[in-house]
Amino acid sequence: MKEFAYSRATGVEEAVSLLAGGSEARFLGGGTNLVDLMKSGVEAPDLLVDVRGLPLGGVEVTADGGLVIGATTTNSDLAVHPEVRRRFPALSQAVLAGASGQLRNVATVGGNLLQRTRCGYFADTSRPCNKRVPGSGCPAIEGEHHNHAILGWSDHCVATNPSDMGVALAAFDAVVSYETVDGPGELPLAEFYPAVGDTPHVETALPAGALITAVTLPAAPVAARSRYRKVRERASYAFATGSLAAALDVRDGVVHEVRIAFGAVASRPWRARAAELSLTGAPATAESFAAAADAELAAAKPLAHNGYKIPLLRNLVVSVLTELAEEAAR
Amino acid sequence: MTDLTESISAPPVGVVGTSHVRLEGREKVTGAARYAADVPFEGLAHGSLVLATVARGRITSIGVDDVLAMPGVLGVIHHGNAPRLNPEAGLLGTGDATLQLLQDDRVPHVGRPVALVVAETAEQARAGADALVVTYEEEEADLVFSADHPGSYTPAAAPEKHKGDVDAELAAAPVVVDQRYTTPQEHHSAMEPHASMARWADGRLEVVDSNQGSFLVSYVLSVLFRLDPGVVRVRAEHVGGGFGSKGIGPQLILAVMATTELKRPVRVALTRRQVFATTGMRAATDQRVRLGADSTGRLRAIDHDTATHTSTIHEFVEFPGEVTNALYAADAIRIRTSLVKVNLPTPTWMRAPGCAPGSFALESAMDELAEAVGVDPVELRLRNEPEVGPISGLPFTSRNLVGCLTEGARRFGWADRDPRPGVRREGRWLLGTGMAAGIYGAGSLPSTAAITAHPDGTFTVGIGAADIGTGARTALVLVAADALEVPTSAIRIDIADSDLGQAWFAGGSRGTSSWTWAITAAATDLREKLADIAHIPADGITGRADTAPLIGALEQRENHAHGAQFAEVAVDPSSGEVRVRRMLGIFAAGRIINPLTTRSQLIGGMTMGISMALHEEGLRDAQFGGQVNGDLAGYHVSAHADIPAIEADWVPDYDPSNPSGVKGVGEVAIVGTAAAVANAVWHATGTRQRSLPISLERILTTTNA
């Protein structure tokens, strides 16, 4: 592990200017991913700017009924917040489905958005990896990829984004606010994670040195009836094999509004817009739900050993939407 | 020989058989107990391993100079400067090339240590190890084991074993089950990563280590480094789990090399990734089991073929046929093993070697036979209970598998079970129950012990035992207290120090039986000595024992611990998720010394068995051979949320071949667990799962939603 400098920022302006001073500097939130990667040599920053002390914590309800979530809010605080549970239950469920209690107590919302893939080749510095060393190659495509992407991957990278929280945020059109030395900015989550293309090492559209300050969820009445379901190899903490955030508004047996996002299937939380389009205005039946899943998964390109994710996601869509529809009918 | 009848008739009355918390429990839960990497030493330097990154080849250069220039770096040990080792050294007496580290430029497999960087601090050593540039000339590697590998051979260590004419019985049997079962590479995953400190002091090589047997480790170290055995002292006071992986670790050999070269105390602690890469694993197996039975389920033939793998440098044989040796009677039995040498790390013993993967195959096949003949799985096993060793014909020391099966069935509520598969649903979950039997060898191995009586009425027991988290230290005090007829408070015990003399290691489920025998024999010797004197001198009176002649005089017997495990699972066929809902294990494992820690160890074995059934799989890249899930985020072991209502208990059993009536419990509790879970999954879904782990992918691709 390389030696590094550590600074504790007391204000947002100070934090972004401190970071701008380091050639290989990183913001430190909960450190639950970054510090592990530093130990294994995947990350080797020369400066850590600790932002946990910044006044960016807390959840506030906006005038229109949306939420503003501060970037240093811990996963635990986010998950148990009554307004989160009431207005966006799938978000609370998603956060609670991730990691362990100990990790959730320190992990932050901003850090969660920036967590790196759990691809085994990415974590092994003795192997090539286009994400870690651009241009070095991707051994996962021909190698071990049971839990890799089926959607949106390229010949350069087939890794997945491991976040649970991000899947719910994607379903609810979250907007990420950030601060830079040149001033603040915003990115809708749909634009926050760029397509893999030939630059898998470029994982976000954030400007260099930007500090995430908040995540805003616009008001979404449909989200009050929402659910996150995570499928994983064991009941104890594990990254998802496939997951789903969904919200459903059924009126007179017809789907009035629906939100669907997939996790663990792509380099980013995967908003299933084709499925939503297929379903909107359709009868709220298992057949429609299956057709919607198929509409989305038609674009899936399984690798040699992860084709099982297609029936998994299809079954998840049908199962979770059916549950939501049954709840609505009660 | 020992008079068996007498020792059966009157087990002594005392503290043995009553529950006691661990003597060192408070130290452990408060953090005061020091493990190998915690013990401070003045002037300590730190070593960090560098592992080969190619699958096979030759080292062409090591960039030593650049690393020597780094802050704090004291030295780089590599094949060009490492002390020469004795190739005859090995844990079981024969030369084991896995111990021959840094002896030449060859890389037999990925992950082989190629250098050790030593520095003033652990961080500096790690930085140096990360920075060390090693270049290789790569050679073509053979990385994929398969049963039909052209290099497959029958190892001399596991020759064909049989009785009767298996082929004829199979041909004549009205019912035949013929299936293949596979198990993957599995890793021990002890909580405490391997760590060692070595230093030269006062003419002795002093080692603080994490191992399963300090005497054996000290002896092998002395052979390896060509030292007088009395020169080496190895201690391992507290050990955070071993499961077979803590013999002589690479960190120990390299620490001894470094302290010898650099004249500084050196500690080497493995990272979790290095533990996965360098401390062995359970080999993958591909087993074919054929059972021939008559229409009532009585076995006419058991044919158990295993294909497995070892490395190119050392022949380790995983022997699943072990389980078929003595579990069921049959007219004909045949056990065959074939081995393939591949360019992967050398496998090693892992909890219930042989029997754990072997029982998955045999006990899954028995469940398939029960289905085929329409006999209840418990009843099927009762019908095939042997009178004597099925192959050997030798009598059993004691055997109460029947008690395990019947008591387990009663407590689990097995009698109410509907045998039809795939008919119980609860929401999205299909429910099922399954069971399996288990067996693991028991016995005692030669050990020495000494007990000193002090003038104040207290006693000191010294024995080279190891407590790897099992509660051995506490159990031995209970046995000593009864043997001396004094309260436990009058006894202090020293263990895990090679200077205490020869003793069997914590392995093969033979630690407690071996050590308690030596302690009771030493107590007898001491009491005889005390009978002859009026006053105990200030330096005490010491009784000693070496059980080698006593054990050598034993008649050959079939000696095993037994168990029966029952599982209820829930399977969601739409997501592939499998969750164990409850698990019961009933064991017959000799006399139980400390029920509290025994129950804990049994539950631990069953937990590891659930883990084996559902989660554990060392995944390797077929191109470079390296593990791609070599950490505990990628290599899943069962943790709390995976372990539901789990219960372990026992039925009466007593091993008359040792004075305390003890059989081991370390291994029998993982034998059969995976089959019980797999059989329950079949009962839930109607689909057999013949490959471990039963991942959600396997369920999704084989089961109709």
Q: Which stretches of chain A drop beneath a pLDDT of 50?
A: none
CA B213 to CA B280: how far, in whole Å?
Answer: 17
H-helix or E-strand containing B684? Answer: helix B673-685
Report the CATH number that the domain containing residue A284 is assigned in CATH.
3.30.390.50
Task: Note the residue count of chain B.
Answer: 705
* Residue B521 in tokens: 């024999």
| Amino acid present at A147 | N
HSE (side-chain half, CA atoms, 13 Å) at A198: 1
In a domain, A267, yes or no: yes
| Axis-axis angle for helices B355-373, B673-685 (nearest 10) | 30
Query: Among A118, A239, A312, whose Cβ lies nearest the Cβ of B576?
Result: A312
In a domain, A244, yes or no: yes
> Total domain count for chain A?
2
Q: Which of B429, B413, B691 is nearest to B567 (CA)?
A: B413
The domain of B540 spans 4-33+443-552
Q: Decide if pLDDT at B112 tops 90.
A: yes
CA B247 to CA B347: how far, in whole Å?
Answer: 13
* Residue B386 in tokens: 């042997």
Per CB-CB distance under 8 Å, the chain A contacts of B642 are: 234-236
Cross-sheet strand order for the sheet of B541-546:
B491-494, B459-463, B448-453, B541-546
Q: Where are the alpha helices (DSSP H) in B104-249?
A: 122-131, 166-172, 214-224
CA B12 to CA A84: how far, in whole Å?
Answer: 64
Report the CATH number that the domain containing residue B515 is assigned in CATH.
3.30.365.10
In a domain, A151, yes or no: no
What pLDDT digit, counting tens, does each position of B462-482 carry? 999 999 999 999 999 999 999
Average pLDDT, stretch B661-678?
A: 97
Distances (CA, A) of A270 to A245, B589, B606: 10, 54, 39
Residue reference for tokens 């079949």: B682
Catalytic residue among B42, B379, B667, B697: B667
CA A296 to CA A313: how far, in whole Å?
Answer: 10
* Residue A55 in tokens: 């006044």
Q: Decide if pLDDT at B11 tops 60.
A: no
β pairing state of B204-209 and B232-235: parallel
Distance from CA of A50 to the nearest CA of B (A): 21
H-helix or E-strand containing B574? Answer: none
CA A112 to CA A165: how far, in whole Å?
Answer: 7
pLDDT of residue A20: 87
Average pLDDT, stretch B657-677?
A: 97
In a domain, B132, yes or no: no
Contact A143 B701 (CB under 8 A): no
β pairing state of B541-546 and B448-453: antiparallel
H-helix or E-strand containing B648? Answer: strand B645-650
> Total domain count for chain B?
1
CA A25 to CA A211: how far, in whole Å?
Answer: 12
Q: A216 by DSSP, 3-state: which?
A: strand
Query: Among A143, A233, A319, whose Cβ lies nearest the Cβ of B428?
Result: A319
| Axis-axis angle for helices A309-329, A286-297 (nearest 10) | 140
Q: Longest Cα pair distance anywhere in chain A, in angstroms? A: 63
Per CB-CB distance under 8 Å, the chain B contacts of A127 are: 621, 624, 626
Q: Is B127 touching A (CB cutoff 8 A)?
A: yes
Cross-sheet strand order for the sheet of A25-28:
A5-8, A47-50, A25-28
Q: Is B636 touching A (CB cutoff 8 A)?
A: yes
Contact A1 B695 (CB under 8 A): no
Residue reference for tokens 């399954």: B434
CA B214 to CA B234: how far, in whole Å?
Answer: 5
Distances (CA, A) of B10 to B13, B482, B656: 9, 13, 11
| Amino acid present at A39 | K
What pLDDT digit, counting tens, does each position of B556-589 carry? 999 999 999 999 999 999 999 999 999 999 999 9
> Which burial class, exposed, middle or buried, applies to A314 when counting CB atoms under 10 A from its CB (0-12, 13-18, 19+)?
buried
pLDDT of residue A330: 79
Q: Decide if pLDDT at B6 tops 70.
A: no
HEC string of B53-70? CCCCEEEEEECHHHHHCC
In a domain, B487, yes or no: yes
Distance from CA of A253 to the nearest CA of B (A): 23
pLDDT of residue B9: 41
The domain of A266 spans 225-329
B617 given a catalytic annotation: no
CA–chain centroid gap for B159, Å, is: 23
What pLDDT digit, counting tens, does each position of B348-374 carry? 999 999 999 999 999 999 999 999 999
In a domain, A144, yes or no: no
Report the CATH number that the domain containing residue A37 is assigned in CATH.
3.30.43
Q: B4: pLDDT confidence band, cut at 50, 70 and 90?
A: very low
HSE (side-chain half, CA atoms, 13 Å) at B476: 33
* A205 phi and psi angles, rounded to 5 deg: -90, 10
Prediction ipTM score: 0.96
In a domain, A295, yes or no: yes
In B, residues 442-461, which contact A (CB 8 Å cutoff)? none
Q: Is B626 touching A (CB cutoff 8 A)?
A: yes
CB A48 within 8 A of CB A5: yes
What pLDDT digit, counting tens, does each position of B284-303 carry? 999 999 999 999 999 999 99
| Amino acid present at A28 | L
CA B455 to CA B477: how far, in whole Å?
Answer: 19
pLDDT of residue A1: 67
Per CB-CB distance under 8 Å, the chain A contacts of B633 are: 118, 238-239
CA B130 to CA B51: how far, in whole Å?
Answer: 10
Query: Among A120, A125, A311, whose Cβ lies nearest the Cβ of B634?
Result: A120
- Chain A residues interacting with chain B (CB cutoff of 8 angstroms): 1-3, 39-41, 118, 120-121, 123-127, 139, 142-144, 146, 231-239, 241-242, 308, 311-312, 315-316, 318-319
Q: Which of A238, A50, A156, A330 is nearest to B641 (CA)?
A: A238
* Residue B535 in tokens: 């006053």
* Residue B579 in tokens: 């969750």
Contact B130 A234 (CB under 8 A): no
CA B270 to CA A227: how far, in whole Å?
Answer: 42
Q: Decide if pLDDT at B267 tops 80.
A: yes
CA A170 to CA A206: how far, in whole Å?
Answer: 16
Q: Decide if pLDDT at B10 tops 70.
A: no
Residue reference for tokens 């074995």: B605
* Residue B161 in tokens: 């074993």
